[in-house]
Structure 1
Amino acid sequence: MTGLPAYRVWALPGIPEVRTGDDIAKLIASAATADGLPGLADGDVLMVTSKILSKAEGRVVQADDREAAIDAEAVRVVARRGPLRIVENRLGLIMAAAGVDASNTPAGTVLLLPEDPDASARRIRTGLRDTLGVNVGVVVTDTFGRPWRSGLTDVAIGAAGVRVLDDLRGGTDAHGNPLSATVVATADELAAAGDLVKGKAAGLPVAVVRGLSHVVVPDVGAGAGDGAGGADEGARALVRDAADDMFRLGTSEAVREAVTLRRTVREFTDDPVDGGAVRRAVAAAVTAPAPHHTTPWRFVLLESAESRVRLLDAMRDAWIADLRGDGFTEENIARRVRRGDVLRKAPYLVVPCLVMDGSHTYPDARRNASEREMFVVAAGAGVQNFLVALAGERLGSAWVSSTMFCRDVVREVLGLPADWDPMGAVAVGRPAVAPPARVARDAAAFVTVR
């Protein structure tokens, strides 16, 4: 079978129990050169279980309460079910319990992941080069579960000397079809291959792959930076940016984070807004509660620049007339109009409207007023759903009340029925700058218990 693509993988025996301060590179070099073993060669890739690095680096901590250790390592909770938490840890990894492990460590202690797994991998690579004179790649591995898939597998959390991603975009497949989205997670595939021979409980923390030298970057050489001549980004490159992660949120946490993401945005980029995303937000809006099984929401989408300018010009003229009638000076009027320009800065506008279809009419005015209040509350619930859904689409928004002060003008310009009540306008677009940090509010200050 000479000439066929192939590689060999084996577990490296002879690694002793690791203690704080041990030199992992020297332990691996000693084990690899034992009698009867093939040793290490240029182009080999080593898969090193993160646990032995954690022990060597003193990441064993006293923790009678494992949950407290998880709290310290986590930066946000992605999903929770009973005592199990899937979290994002300080390395940006989404994993169970932040990688805090209570196995293979004395009672009353837990293992934390290495402080910097990429740096750990670089130290091992450099140590093996200095000790054995070989150019190898190193992948630091840990065990992950996966969304929508049963079972566990090892993945790369640190790497050195390895092209962790193989970007095939721009090439073609065997049939000549262009590859537009194919980026292979090479380091994760290596980690899984190593796990097949290391096992989870066999006491074999290191595996070697031979025959895939094309994934190893050239030797650093004397005086050169690590990875010189090759793309040595480390495993951090495998962590998807939040902005590109379609599956960033978990279960109930998704609702809370989406609500938190909803911020009033007043500066937008010129990027066009996807009308499909706005329509999906409308679909979320109309799931809001409403009285008498009614549907009191209507959403007018101003997708053309002409419709937006025509409406905003008419509203501005009506507002100026009102301000003059109230006795404001021209200078004061000009200042107020400038402050109201947030709607003009947005590439997309939505005018939510309230309709009273299905409302009840009562003999006394008090009950009729309450009836309208119920519908107004339902309209607000729909708009809130809409704003939160826009945030989930990574769109910024600002709900401005101005259309409520000139409803007749809005109805006339947009050609709306007489019974549609504009409930403000929502500016929609891509945020030009990140919003400032939200001022923390103590929920207890808004709660009364009886």
Structure 2
Amino acid sequence: MSLEILPVTGLPEIDTDSDLAGLIAKAGVRGGGAFEDGDILVVTSKIVSKAEGRVLGATDREAAIDAETVRVVARRGSTRIVENRNGLVMAAAGVDASNTAPGTVLLLPEDPDASARALRARLQQLTGRRLAVVVSDTFGRPWRNGLTDVAIGAAGLRVLEDHRGRTDSHGNELAMTVTATADELAAAADLVKGKTTGTPVAVVRGPATHVTVEDGPGARALVRPAADDMFRLGTSEAVREAVTLRRTVRSFTAEPVDPAAVRRAVAAAVTAPAPHHTTPWRFVLVESAGTRQRLLDAMLDAWRRDLAELDGWDEQKIARRTARGEVLRGAPYLVVPCMVTDGSHAYPDARRAAAEREMFVVAAGAGVQNLLVALAGEGYGSAWVSSTMFCRDVVRQVLGLPEGWDAMGAVAVGRAAEPPVARAPRGVEAYVLER
């Protein structure tokens, strides 16, 4: 296959309600040449936006970005990578203050695929040729320096070329390869269009087999679904989302828990702050179903005995109280976080000795919170239940733990059986005292 990239020159300044298709058809290829069947026209989104009246009088570009933003993906200083209304993840929601009059900003087309379809229909009518149209815009890319043009709208084009199931020259079956053809065409055309040449349209001639009779799904098919996006958030945003996702889960599926995921969560847990450069965290991973059963049975017996003998509760009241621990039985995996006070300072008076222990308790709690948040980031639900604190000797005996390990509750881990109930955001003012 040979490939030519030809400029469409001589276009005037595009204004609101300009007949963009008519102007392109009149200009022709490289100074008046005719279009051919199978030509792919790559049109810069800026002139599409201008023709559609997407010019906004705005002295505050940031406010315009806010209005076009659905979700902030990452923020570094004043730079924002966001998802816009069309699902495109890009800098500043595509709001542009270049190539537009002072005091105005240029928004992306409201529906770039619809823009491409309309432009294609009109161009085919005017030229009598079978054409494809790509609306392009400039994107940065993760892991790569520099900008490149990509397709944000398309019509009459196979935007993706799926090679899966085919074989390479050595007979190996391709399992992952799906080529973003529309993006490749957009980037290639920009070598002719450029950023400052005043050539907003180019024709890619040669790959006519990619041109279709139907408009097709458009560039929307290039947007990766959120469920498949492993890099959906920036670092700080991912941490905040994991904190928000962390919920107490009371009901789990039977799906086994990946031990490697739990160990990654423990690795995050042990980065918590601790006093005196100590490491006061230990995490007992109760992976054996038999061990879980023995532990929970022994804990239940200890609870019942204490509630009856020490608190004088009757069987009905004991049953209601101990039923709260059933969440541990319903989980496919348990973690028992423990605190050790090795390296703590000894004080002769009770007040300072109590404060010293409290420092280690706070550090243990910080480690558990890290664990829960990291588990949420791995897609697991959890419930932190305090019951082991009331029968530490029993826990040590069943799990064979050293004397100095104090159980700090138990964490049930697994896939949540039900989606979390929507939780109203909590404002900070009720929890803040300013001085």
Normalising by the residue count of structure 2, what TM-score does the alignment of the two structures yield? Answer: 0.91
C-alpha displacement at 1:321, in angstroms? Answer: 4.0
Partner Cα distance (1:306, 1:147) in 2: 46
Aligned to 1:257: 241
Alignment of 1:151-162 (within 5 A): 151-162=146-157
Aligned to 1:28: 24
- Tell me if structure 1 keeps the 8 A contact 2:113–2:155: yes
Aligned to 2:341: 356
Q: For each residue in 1:220-242, what CA deviation from the matched residue of structure 2 results, as whole angstroms up to 9, or x when unmatched? A: 3xxxxx4xxxxx33222222233
Q: For each residue in 1:283-320, what CA deviation from the matched residue of structure 2 results, as whole angstroms up to 9, or x when unmatched? A: 11111111111100011112233333333333334334
Partner Cα distance (1:346, 1:135) in 2: 60
- Tell me if structure 2 keeps the 8 A contact 1:32–1:40: no
Aligned to 1:150: 145
Distance of aligned partners of 1:37 and 1:319 in 2 relative to their CA distance in 1, 3 Å threshold:
farther
C-alpha displacement at 1:347, in angstroms? Answer: 2.6
C-alpha displacement at 1:355, in angstroms? Answer: 0.9
Partner Cα distance (1:135, 1:429) in 2: 55
Q: For each residue in 1:204-251, what CA deviation from the matched residue of structure 2 results, as whole angstroms up to 9, or x when unmatched? A: 22222122123233x13xxxxx4xxxxx33222222233332222224
Partner Cα distance (1:206, 1:7) in 2: 16
C-alpha displacement at 1:436, in angstroms? Answer: 2.7
- Tell me if structure 2 keeps the 8 A contact 1:395–1:430: yes
Residue among 354, 361, 382 paired with 1:397: 382
Residue among 337, 362, 372 paired with 1:377: 362
- Tell me if structure 1 keeps the 8 A contact 2:9–2:30: no
Distance of aligned partners of 1:170 and 1:302 in 2 relative to their CA distance in 1, 3 Å threshold:
farther
Residue among 60, 63, 75 paired with 2:70: 75
- Tell me if structure 2 keeps the 8 A contact 1:261–1:391: yes
Partner Cα distance (1:92, 1:247) in 2: 14
C-alpha displacement at 1:329, in angstroms? Answer: 5.3
Mapped pair 1:15 → 2:11 = yes
Partner Cα distance (2:31, 2:67) in 1: 44
Mapped pair 1:274 → 2:258 = yes
SS in 2 for 1:192: helix
Residue among 89, 95, 106 paired with 2:90: 95
SS in 1 for 2:294: helix
Partner Cα distance (1:402, 1:24) in 2: 71
C-alpha displacement at 1:359, in angstroms? Answer: 1.2
Partner Cα distance (2:162, 2:395) in 1: 51
Partner Cα distance (2:211, 2:386) in 1: 60
- Which moves more between the two structures, 97-106 or 136-145? 136-145
Amino-acid identity (%): 72
1:257 alignment partner AA: E
Aligned to 2:407: 422
Residue among 170, 176, 197 paired with 1:175: 170
- Tell me if structure 1 keeps the 8 A contact 2:384–2:411: yes
Alignment of 1:3-402 (within 5 A): 5-32=1-28, 36-41=32-37, 43-217=38-212, 219-220=213-214, 226=215, 232-325=216-309, 326=311, 328=313, 330-402=315-387
- Tell me if structure 1 keeps the 8 A contact 2:36–2:130: no
SS in 2 for 1:406: helix
Distance of aligned partners of 1:166 and 1:366 in 2 relative to their CA distance in 1, 3 Å threshold:
same
- Tell me if structure 1 keeps the 8 A contact 2:9–2:31: no
Aligned to 1:229: none
C-alpha displacement at 1:121, in angstroms? Answer: 1.6
Distance of aligned partners of 1:330 and 1:71 in 2 relative to their CA distance in 1, 3 Å threshold:
same
Partner Cα distance (2:30, 2:191) in 1: 22
- Tell me if structure 1 keeps the 8 A contact 2:337–2:407: yes
Distance of aligned partners of 1:162 and 1:444 in 2 relative to their CA distance in 1, 3 Å threshold:
same
C-alpha displacement at 1:261, in angstroms? Answer: 3.0
C-alpha displacement at 1:327, in angstroms? Answer: 5.0
- Tell me if structure 2 keeps the 8 A contact 1:32–1:38: yes
CA RMSD of aligned residues (A): 2.4
- Tell me if structure 1 keeps the 8 A contact 2:160–2:180: yes
Distance of aligned partners of 1:380 and 1:64 in 2 relative to their CA distance in 1, 3 Å threshold:
same
Distance of aligned partners of 1:405 and 1:161 in 2 relative to their CA distance in 1, 3 Å threshold:
farther
**Count of equivalent residues:** 434
Partner Cα distance (2:249, 2:204) in 1: 51
1:262 alignment partner AA: R
1:270 alignment partner AA: A
Q: For each residue in 1:373-411, what CA deviation from the matched residue of structure 2 results, as whole angstroms up to 9, or x when unmatched? A: 000000011111112222222332222222222222222
C-alpha displacement at 1:336, in angstroms? Answer: 4.5
Partner Cα distance (1:384, 1:354) in 2: 14
Q: For each residue in 1:170-229, what CA deviation from the matched residue of structure 2 results, as whole angstroms up to 9, or x when unmatched? A: 333222233222222221111101111111122222222122123233x13xxxxx4xxx
Which ranges in structure 1 are unaligned for 5 or more consecutive residues?
221-225, 227-231
Q: For each residue in 1:319-362, what CA deviation from the matched residue of structure 2 results, as whole angstroms up to 9, or x when unmatched? A: 34444454555555545555433223333221111111111221
